[in-house]
Amino acid sequence: MEKQNHQPSVVALVVGVTGMAGLSLAQALKHPDCLGGPWKVYGAARSQPTWFPPSTVDHFIAFDAVDSASTHSNLSPIAHEVTHLFWVTVQFPGDEEANVAVNTTMLHNVLTTLKSSPSSRLSHVTLQTGTKHYMGPIQDPTRSNQLVGHEPPFHEDMPRLPYPNFYYALEDLLASHAPSLTYSVHRSSIIIGASSRSGHNALVMVGAYAAVCRHLGVPFRYPGNRYTWEHFCDMTDARMVGLNIAQALKKPDCKGGPWKVYGAARRPPPATWFPASIVDDFISFDAVDAATTQASLSPIAHEVTHLFWVALQFQEDEEANIATNKGMLHNVLTTLKSSPASRLTHVTLQTGTKHYMGPIFDPARSTQLLSHDPPFHEDMPRLPYPNFYYAQEDLLASHAPSLTYSVHRSSIIIGASSRSAINALVKLGAYAAVCRHLRLPFRYPGTRYTWEHFCDMTDSEVLAQQHVWAAVTDKAKNQAFNCTNGDLFTWKRMWKVLSELFDVEFVGFGENDEDRVDVVEFMRDKDEIWDEIVEKYGLVKTKLKEFAYYEALKVVLHFDFQHVSSMNKSKEYGFFGHANTFKRVTFWVHKLRFMKIIP
């Protein structure tokens, strides 16, 4: 019987395979568990270097894509095979007009050849570009000092800039081939990797500079300006939390489930918006009181396997915070472990970035703190200040190995609850409502630094997902994890979004003293105004002091550093939760309105 010649279902052509991105792409495609695989991989570049591992691709094709004849003669024999084109090549011949001409010609030549076969199977193209999409032709010798780029952080839906850009031309070329093929565009930051054939490799350039400095015996000086020296860059390689944890646990497909969920708080759940079905049973008790805790929790101590700790109380100074918050956790742990049939195996502990900054709300210490330089990493050492987060972690560690734990260090948390002193959106919503009610400007109550520089947030649903993930993931046991949405924002841009959401006139940052506002002092005497607003809009009967801890908001908006945490450890351990901060702010504001918490 004649042997059948089976054609691979997916065949990749990686153009630019000797560059950093191309080499990594080929290696990823040849990995046994690569998505969509197994792949047959053709690698292409102008020449094959001596260091290139032959096993990286099935076949290497050397040709110059600028030359249409060379492209056709080299690629036409495989045109009937290729299903996916990975385009990671680039040439910089001169100004942007020349860049457009050369780079679009190369892609055009390859596409024309691959699609010329009557049996062409080409279905998708991935296009490697970068953040020049948002900045304009920054390497053009005549235009580079006249550009007005978008304000970072960069988002994919930002409009094109009014300058020539070969990235735009490449995207347009691909779009012109729709719907006969699909495409995706990948806008990277500064790329790091291993290749001697890449004009983009920052590590190679810095390494060569360092080697020359060392060889000549001259200092390895930073060749940039103070702004880039001090500011962030990226590279390419509470109670509302308790509510979301309960919701996550009760989902039919929740990891480790099905779960029986007990909910606990000092007061009964608010009937106006707390869904009764969110927990199996609700227990009201004050964890500060050991006797009350024992009486309330001992009946279920033989059942509970996982404790999700997202409670906190703010006291007048950090010593009082330690006594109260450590005391509450101690009382609950003691009760749950006191049962001879105790099944408690894991505790998730909710803390935050105060871990890296020190007791920022302590009236005596807050002005004397020396915090870590951001971005914050979980392996940063503890600061030499009292901190109830440290005390709680130590308490949990003292119970090992009889139980495991995980620590979750969030940023500014956003979500929906009328009973959370840390909910930034509720505080801002109440502040905006008072401004609108009194017909006063909605002024930014922070500094120019926080107005202009980067910050991050934590969506309460993402945080809940991380708690549940850590509770059922072995390698996450006895580890601490930062938790943010994974993106950045500036308050300058956020204030425009909030002004629109809260239906108040946008007011830019005020340079003069009369344009500034101390939000703590402004809201201090607004209890009666808030009562009027609650009555006017039929809101849930709340008092400002119940949810409006404006001292915390003031501290956050007066940081003299960029409040940013790294999510690398979480991703390395397998947690990939994320959220679009601007979209989630909009979602939660609408949710708070639906719950009748803000007007």
In tens, the pLDDT along 334-356 reads 999 988 999 999 999 999 999 99
- Bigger pLDDT: 207 vs 326: 326
Domain 10-235 has CATH 3.20.20.70: no
For residues 422 and 556, the answer to whether their CB atoms sit within 8 Å is no
Catalytic residue among 40, 132, 354, 526: 354
Residue 449 catalytic? no
136 backbone φψ class: left, alpha, beta (φ>0; ψ -120 to 50): left
As a whole number, the mean pLDDT across the chain is 85
Beta strand residue intervals within 84-199, DSSP E: 84-87, 124-130, 182-188, 190-191
Instruction: Report the pLDDT averaged over residues 406-432.
Output: 83
pTM of the complete model beyond 0.85: no
Element (H, E) at 592: helix 581-594
Instruction: Give me the percent of the chain exceeding a pLDDT of 70.
Output: 87
Fold of 238-594: Rossmann fold (3.40.50)
Catalytic residue among 134, 163, 389, 431: 389
* pLDDT number for residue 151: 84
Residue 389 catalytic? yes
Residue ranges of the chain assigned to CATH 3.40.50.720: 10-235, 238-594
Residue 596 corresponds to which tokens in the numbers above? 């009748």
Q: How far apart are the first and last CA of the chain?
A: 78
Residue 3 has pLDDT above 60, yes or no: no
Residue 22 has pLDDT above 50, yes or no: yes
d(CA 508, CA 458): 25
d(CA 479, CA 484): 16
Tokens 């495989």 label which residue? 78
Residues near 575 by beta carbon (within 8 Å), at least 6 away in sequence: 465, 466, 469, 470, 473, 476, 481
Element (H, E) at 352: strand 346-352
Which range has highest mean pLDDT (340-344, 378-382, 422-426)? 378-382
